[in-house]
């Protein structure tokens, strides 16, 4: 067989067709959505403020998250979609929190050095000390020494022992989500996906069914849940647009039109009697 004769299909074509039929309203308006993405994220702008670059970059990556989500939802791979939804949610929470609290930006950025040293240590422990150059180690260690006091927390209630915090903020993700008005996403985009991003009993049980012959695995494909996750991801993508519009003082119609499109698509599906799917 010559290379020109080779053919490979990656994915589930039957699921693609069914996905398109179920979500016809979404695809009829997809060009409008991607057009909004382009207007918001492919424009000329300049700034010397670090917060502007972080807000823009995080928003751009959130849209990438959504497009990846669309790919796996189109294949009815609901479990894979859950694993993408959770980090997309966390990215949007962080983005909205920093946009609201630019005074904490340095805390977010400087934690890079703490994370970098953890990574270098893991590499050395796994593969030997020579894979990280002395120059890199010196640079990282000097920066850790410069910033580590900002992340040092008490490790023991009964003594004065301390340790470095495992994250950049003393606030956890749920607290930040509530502070930036993302309460409604916490269960569908954080706790439920956690069952699939970690090896939980709940995640395992979700794939098991009891039959007359005993337990068996259900199909990996879950079209209904994939559609629900797409709806949630679409809503999160709109959160990314809203932050850009507000932070950079863009035309508010970019947000209001996108929101109206979302409502038209998801508020009531032809095969459903209830509203919003988030």
Model pLDDT for residues 214-245, shown as the tens digit of each residue: 889 999 999 999 999 999 999 999 999 999 99
Is 157 within a domain?
A: no
CA distance 48 to 53: 8
For residue 274, name the pLDDT band (cuts at 50, 70, 90): very low
Is 141 within a domain?
A: no
Is pTM beyond 0.95? Reply is no
Phi and psi angles of residue 153, each rounded to the nearest 5 degrees, phi first: -125, 165
pLDDT at 69 over 70: yes
Is 121 within a domain?
A: no
CA distance 90 to 195: 15
Q: How many domains does one find in the chain?
A: 1
Phi and psi angles of residue 222, each rounded to the nearest 5 degrees, phi first: -135, 85
Mean pLDDT value across residues 52-59: 98
Distances (CA, A) of 246 to 36, 72, 180, 254: 15, 30, 14, 11
CA distance 248 to 246: 6
Q: What is the CA radius of gyration of the chain?
A: 22
Residue 153 bridge partners (DSSP): 163
Q: Give 63 or 278, the one with higher predicted confidence.
A: 63
Least confident interval from 59-68, 103-112, 242-251, 265-274: 265-274
Give residue 3's pLDDT: 65
Q: Give 274 or 54, the one with higher predicted confidence.
A: 54
pLDDT at 278 over 60: no
Is 260 within a domain?
A: yes
> What mean pLDDT, rounded, does the chain reach?
93
Is 123 within a domain?
A: no
Query: Which pLDDT tens digit goes with each residue over 117-158?
Result: 999 999 999 999 889 999 999 999 999 999 999 999 888 888
Distances (CA, A) of 177 to 63, 192, 226, 277: 19, 15, 23, 20
Give residue 178's pLDDT: 98
Domain residue limits at 73: 11-103+171-266
Mean pLDDT value across residues 177-203: 96
CA distance 185 to 194: 13
Positive/negative CA dihedral, 211, 215, 217, 218: positive
Give residue 4's pLDDT: 73
CA distance 205 to 199: 11
pLDDT at 103 over 50: yes
Give residue 213's pLDDT: 86
pLDDT at 272 over 70: no
CA distance 40 to 250: 8
Give residue 269's pLDDT: 60
Give residue 9's pLDDT: 82
Q: Is residue 253 classed as helix, strand or coil in its secondary structure?
A: helix
């Amino acid at each position: 067989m010559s290379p020109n004769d080779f053919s490979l299909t990656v994915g589930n074509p039957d699921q693609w067709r069914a996905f398109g039929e179920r979500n016809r309203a979404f695809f009829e308006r997809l060009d409008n959505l991607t057009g909004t993405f382009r207007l918001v994220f492919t424009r000329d702008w300049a700034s010397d403020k670090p917060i502007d670059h972080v807000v823009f970059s995080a928003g751009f990556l959130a849209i990438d998250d959504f497009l990846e989500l669309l790919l796996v939802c189109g294949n009815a791979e609901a479990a894979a979609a859950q694993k993408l939804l959770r980090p997309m949610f966390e990215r949007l929470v962080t983005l909205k929190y920093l946009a609201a609290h630019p005074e904490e930006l340095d805390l977010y950025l400087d934690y890079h050095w703490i994370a970098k040293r953890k990574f270098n240590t893991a590499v050395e422990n796994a593969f030997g000390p020579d894979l990280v150059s002395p120059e890199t180690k010196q640079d990282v260690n000097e920066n850790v020494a410069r910033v580590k006091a900002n992340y040092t927390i008490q490790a023991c209630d009964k003594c004065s022992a301390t340790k470095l915090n495992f994250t950049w903020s003393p606030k956890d993700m749920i607290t930040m989500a509530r502070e930036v008005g993302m309460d409604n996403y916490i269960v569908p985009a954080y706790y439920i996906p956690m069952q699939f991003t970690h090896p939980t009993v709940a995640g395992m049980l979700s794939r098991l069914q009891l039959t007359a012959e005993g337990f068996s695995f259900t199909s990996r494909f879950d079209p209904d849940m994939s559609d629900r996750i797409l709806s949630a991801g679409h809503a999160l993508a709109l959160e990314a647009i809203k932050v850009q519009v507000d932070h950079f003082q863009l035309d508010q119609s970019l947000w209001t039109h996108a929101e109206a499109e979302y409502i038209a698509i998801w508020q009531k599906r032809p095969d459903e009697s209830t509203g919003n799917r988030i």
